[in-house]
Amino acid sequence: MADDLDRMLARLAREAGLQAPDGFEARVLAGVAARREALRAGHALGPAQFAAVGLALAVGVTAGGLAGVRTVVGSHGFDTFSTATHLAPSTLLEGDG
């Protein structure tokens, strides 16, 4: 495969009239510099993004835990069409009843 690439590059070098457009190199280097600057900005925001994810995780775990505790501690009333009855076989088999 390297030989094919070498042959193609040699053919391009032999062909006349293939000149780089004016300012092409400067535009490429400017694009590389812009990409590097964007990566630096991304690395600078890394700790803030990590803190935001941590805060969202803490809020989610806290809210979910409180909802779970409220469900367990809540009254176990019996209703005809209730899905959370304390006498259901699924709750009796857990050993909490």
Quick: pLDDT tens for 60-95. Answer: 999 988 887 776 665 555 566 666 566 666 666 666
Give domain status of residue 62, yes or no: no
C-alpha–C-alpha distance, residues 54 and 52, integer Å? 5
Q: Tell which residue, 70, 81, 67, 76, has the closest CA to residue 94.
A: 76
**Residue 97: per-residue pLDDT:** 45
Give domain status of residue 8, yes or no: no
For the chain, what is the largest distance between any 2 Cα atoms, rounded to a whole number of angstroms?
90
What percentage of the chain exceeds 70 in pLDDT? 65
Give domain status of residue 44, yes or no: yes
Q: Name residues whose C-beta falls within 8 Å of residue 18's C-beta, 6 or more positions apart in sequence.
A: 12
Give domain status of residue 60, yes or no: no
3-7, 54-58, 70-74, 83-87: least confidently modelled range: 83-87
Give domain status of residue 34, yes or no: yes
Residues in the chain, overall count:
97
The range of the structural domain enclosing residue 28 comes to: 21-49
